Amino acid sequence: MNTLTTTQELAAFCERAKSQPYVTIDTEFLRERTYYSKLCLIQLALPGRDENDAVLVDPLVEGLSLDPLIDLMREPSVVKVFHAARQDLEIFFVDHDVIPQPLFDTQVAAMVCGFGDQVGYETLVRKIAKQSLDKSSRFTDWSRRPLTEAQKTYALADVTHLRQIYEFLDRKLQETGRSHWVQEEIALLTDPETYITRPEQAWRRIKTRSSSPRFLAIVQALAEFREAHAQARNIPRNRVFKDDALVELASTKPGSMNDLGRSRLLLREARKGDIADGILAAIKQGLDCPQEDLPKPDTSRDKMQVNPALADLLRVLLKAKTESSGVASKLIAPSADLDAIAAGMREVAALKGWRREVFGEDALRLCNGEIGLAAKGNAVRVVRLG
């Protein structure tokens, strides 16, 4: 099995790859004990079927430089093919300040081609490549060396079958004229902002029951401290303190180490040292935040006056469009978007880009009374009015 362990070997493979139309790529990594992913293995495959067309790259080998691979990631003539690319792309961006382009994500393409919402690689291998995968090595420790033959076989299968899947999906997209749909979705994956986590914005991920601006100011300060602390020490944010402890601290507002010791949910390590000092400072920061700087939650959707009958009709229309297009309904328009449209909102994803083409135009016509829906058997069709 071909494992590249020197920069020279990697450079030779990448130079050969530059003459090919695409390269399939996957990574194996660990993230359980770190904030940032630790890259443990890279798998690459070229369009051919020769054993030298699929290789493993061991980034843990001392002296191996990934510069030739990073150069390939920037090569505009070679399509970089991933499945569910987000975490792989984050590694390349964080570690090497590069986002592979041009990019093709087979999970995105499969959703557009009628394989359902967030379809897994194993499903595509079974349905398109007509093969099965050995899953026994899925949850192994990829940082341990030497790798077993079973691990290597499992890892290579993630890029060898991907060749056939890519060629099938790309051909289907060309036939149906939906390639631009996939490119719209991939634009988010190739945006560097997708992979930048700013501590001052971390509070927006915290689920709270209260929307009190003062309470949210404390949540904001605690979340910012936790994110910055986790990033600086490269540890998971939950190792600092968990979300439920953060919400408890924002509610109880401890002002001293003794108060902190009464927390029910705070980890023992967080009751002393740098973390404890950071918690108390963050709470004080939230309490002292000037009135004009208090965070303001987005309540626009809380005040929506949803027309329930119209929302039901939009759901029927979406079901009809899903069946006719073969695209998963959640990808076209989640339930929240349907309610927003039924409440008169127009700045929603379901009314933009390819979604507008598939669903949005008729959704707006339905809202304006220009079309109706008629049922015949199990089918629903659009009927123009007037």
Domain spans of the chain?
3-195, 199-293, 308-384
- List the CATH code of the domain at 3-195: 3.30.420.10
Query: What is the C-alpha to C-alpha distance for residues 296 and 294, in angstroms, rounded to an integer?
Result: 6
Tell the residue number behind the tokens 């443990």, with chain if given. 40
Cis previous bond, 102, omega within 30: yes
Residues 349 and 360: their CA atoms lie apart, in Å, by 9
Task: Round to whole Å and give the CA distance between 367 and 260.
Answer: 54
Question: Taking residues 246-265, what's their average pLDDT?
Answer: 95
Distance CA 258, CA 254 (A): 8
Residues 6 and 64: their CA atoms lie apart, in Å, by 5
Alpha carbons 259 and 251: distance in angstroms, whole number? 13
Buried b (16+ CB within 10 A) or exposed e, 102-123: ebbbbbbbbbbbebbeebebee
Which class for 263: exposed (0-12), middle (13-18), buried (19 or more C-beta within 10 A)?
Answer: middle
Q: Which architecture characterizes domain 308-384 according to CATH?
A: Orthogonal Bundle (1.10)
The pTM of the full predicted model, rounded to 2 decimals, is 0.90
Quick one: pLDDT at residue 117? Answer: 82
Which stretch of 76-80, 112-116, 243-247 has the lowest confidence by average pLDDT? 112-116
The confidence score (pLDDT) of residue 301 equals 61
- Bridging pattern class, strands 3-4 and 54-57: parallel
What are 136's two structure tokens?
């026994």
Query: For residue range 124-183, what is the model confidence (pLDDT) as tens digits?
Result: 999 999 999 887 777 889 999 999 999 999 999 999 999 999 999 999 999 999 999 999
Domain spanning 199-293: which CATH class is it, in words?
A: mainly alpha
